[in-house]
């Protein structure tokens, strides 16, 4: 950016222009990514704290950009949400995940449950339920095998969220509350909404070593979830001490680098028992 007589103002406007062009470029690239099938999924196993048995997989999206290489979701999901591209992208992600699960089952594997992340923007879209039903109908994934992961921002609007969550519940699809405890959690919706699974945010798990206060919080959250008859998943388990601590609650499942990072789909069969 060059200066002229006016100085600062011109400079600022040019910076802003640059930022806008950068965003516009990413948006354009993202549209192209959908057309050219540049999105792909990794799958992270969810395991029981006691035996290490795999109960399911969470699908996590990645973008193979032709110039920049693999881009993580935190960089492009927000742009997809702002531009509305998340609607078609989210549908594509669910479709890909269901297709992969169908393939594994056709090959004789039993991958357990399939968890897919749903953005708040997707959840609020009027065709959301139709999209879910349609995708399930065209793949051999039963509603009971599907788990939709949503963050607290989805359920904040309790009145709006309730009917859709109720429909998912009636369909037999389970809903997991993701990153629980990360934001300013209100406990109100936990009692009033049909939520099946509580995913305890990794910041809690990673604070386990810190001491009794942190443990008291985790234990309270777990008790609460259990009393509300929700299944609990601990996120971000990286160290043996963390798992050792979590084993005190034998019904827990967990995800984390300690067992496995998210895997490319071709690696998944290597950690599942042989096909029947
Ligand atoms: P999330 O749903 O909370 O997913 C868990 C994230 O934690 C993943 O990052 C995963 O790779 C990472 N993780 C797993 N185990 C560990 C661990 O032991 N330690 C640490 N530090 N991290 C661990 P990823 O794949 O980069 O995804 C980041 C976020 O992007 C996700 O957070 C989710 O909010 C969003 N996201 C990912 N895939 C999708 C998608 O298909 N749709 C939507 N709407 N959002 C997605
Ligand atoms: Ca998630
Ligand atoms: Ca999470
Ligand atoms: Ca998240």
| pLDDT tens track for 46-57 | 999 998 799 999
CA pair distance 35, 271, nearest whole angstrom: 32
Cα 71 from chain centre = 16
* Average pLDDT for 7-14: 65
Q: Could you count the other beta carbons within 10 Å of the beta carbon of residue 36? A: 11
Would you state the pLDDT for residue 19? Answer: 74
Tell me the average pLDDT of the chain: 91
On whether the CB atoms of residues 215 and 272 are closer than 8 A, the answer is: no
DSSP state of 213: H
CA pair distance 136, 120, nearest whole angstrom: 20
CA 60 to centroid of ligand 1, rounded, Å: 6
Q: Which atom of ligand 1 is nearest to the CA of 122?
A: 44
ipTM here: 0.97
CA pair distance 27, 19, nearest whole angstrom: 12
**Dihedral of the alpha carbons of 71, 72, 75, 79, in degrees to the nearest 10:** 80
CA pair distance 164, 251, nearest whole angstrom: 28
Q: Could you count the other beta carbons within 10 Å of the beta carbon of residue 114? A: 24
CA pair distance 91, 128, nearest whole angstrom: 9
Which ligand has the shortest distance to the CA of 39? 1
Return the CA Rg of the chain.
21
CA pair distance 215, 112, nearest whole angstrom: 30
Best of 30, 41, 58, 73 for a ligand 1 pocket test (most atoms within 8 Å of beta carbon): 73
CA 54 to centroid of ligand 4, rounded, Å: 22
| pLDDT tens track for 204-224 | 999 888 788 888 888 888 898
| pLDDT tens track for 116-173 | 999 999 999 999 999 999 999 999 999 999 999 999 888 888 889 999 999 999 999 9
Q: Could you count the other beta carbons within 10 Å of the beta carbon of residue 141? A: 22
CA pair distance 117, 140, nearest whole angstrom: 19
Partners of 69 in beta bridges: 65
CA 151 to centroid of ligand 4, rounded, Å: 7
| pLDDT tens track for 174-209 | 999 999 988 766 777 888 899 999 999 999 999 888
CA 229 to centroid of ligand 2, rounded, Å: 20
User: Read out DSSP for 119-140?
Assistant: -HHHHTSTTHHHHHHHHHHTTT
Q: Which atom of ligand 1 is nearest to the CA of 73?
A: 30
Backbone angles phi, psi at 107, to 5 degrees: -80, 0
pTM metric for this prediction: 0.93
Comparing CA positions, the residue from 235, 140, 223 lying closest to residue 182 is: 235
Dihedral sign from CA coordinates of 263, 253, 147, 236: negative
pLDDT at 6 over 60: no
pLDDT at 109 over 70: yes
Q: Could you count the other beta carbons within 10 Å of the beta carbon of residue 104? A: 21
On whether the CB atoms of residues 76 and 26 are closer than 8 A, the answer is: yes
| 33 membership: H or E segment, kind and range | helix 8-35
């Amino acid at each position: 950016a060059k200066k002229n007589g006016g100085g600062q103002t011109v400079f600022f406007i040019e910076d802003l222009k640059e930022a806008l062009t950068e965003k516009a470029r990413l948006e354009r690239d993202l549209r192209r990514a959908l057309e050219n099938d540049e999105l792909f999924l990794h799958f992270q196993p969810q395991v029981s704290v006691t035996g290490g048995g795999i109960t399911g997989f969470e699908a996590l999206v990645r973008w193979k950009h032709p110039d920049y290489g693999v881009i993580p979701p935190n960089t492009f999901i927000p742009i997809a949400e702002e531009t509305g591209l998340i609607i078609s992208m989210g549908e594509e992600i669910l479709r890909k995940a269901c297709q992969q699960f169908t393939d594994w089952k056709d090959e004789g594997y039993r991958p357990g449950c399939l968890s897919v992340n749903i953005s708040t923007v997707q959840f609020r879209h009027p065709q959301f339920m139709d999209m879910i039903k349609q995708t399930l109908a065209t793949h051999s994934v039963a509603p009971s095998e599907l788990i939709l992961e949503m963050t607290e921002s989805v359920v904040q609007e309790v009145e709006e969220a309730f009917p859709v969550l109720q429909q998912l519940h009636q369909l037999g699809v389970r809903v997991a509350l993701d990153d629980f405890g990360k934001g300013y959690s209100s406990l109100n919706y936990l009692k009033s909404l049909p939520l099946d699974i509580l995913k305890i945010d990794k910041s809690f798990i990673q604070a386990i070593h810190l001491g009794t206060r942190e443990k008291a919080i985790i234990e309270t959250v777990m008790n609460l979830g259990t009393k509300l008859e929700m299944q609990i998943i601990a996120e971000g388990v990286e160290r043996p001490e963390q798992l050792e601590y979590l084993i005190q609650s034998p019904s827990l499942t967990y995800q984390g680098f300690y067992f496995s990072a998210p895997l490319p789909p071709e690696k998944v069969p290597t950690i599942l028992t042989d096909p029947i």
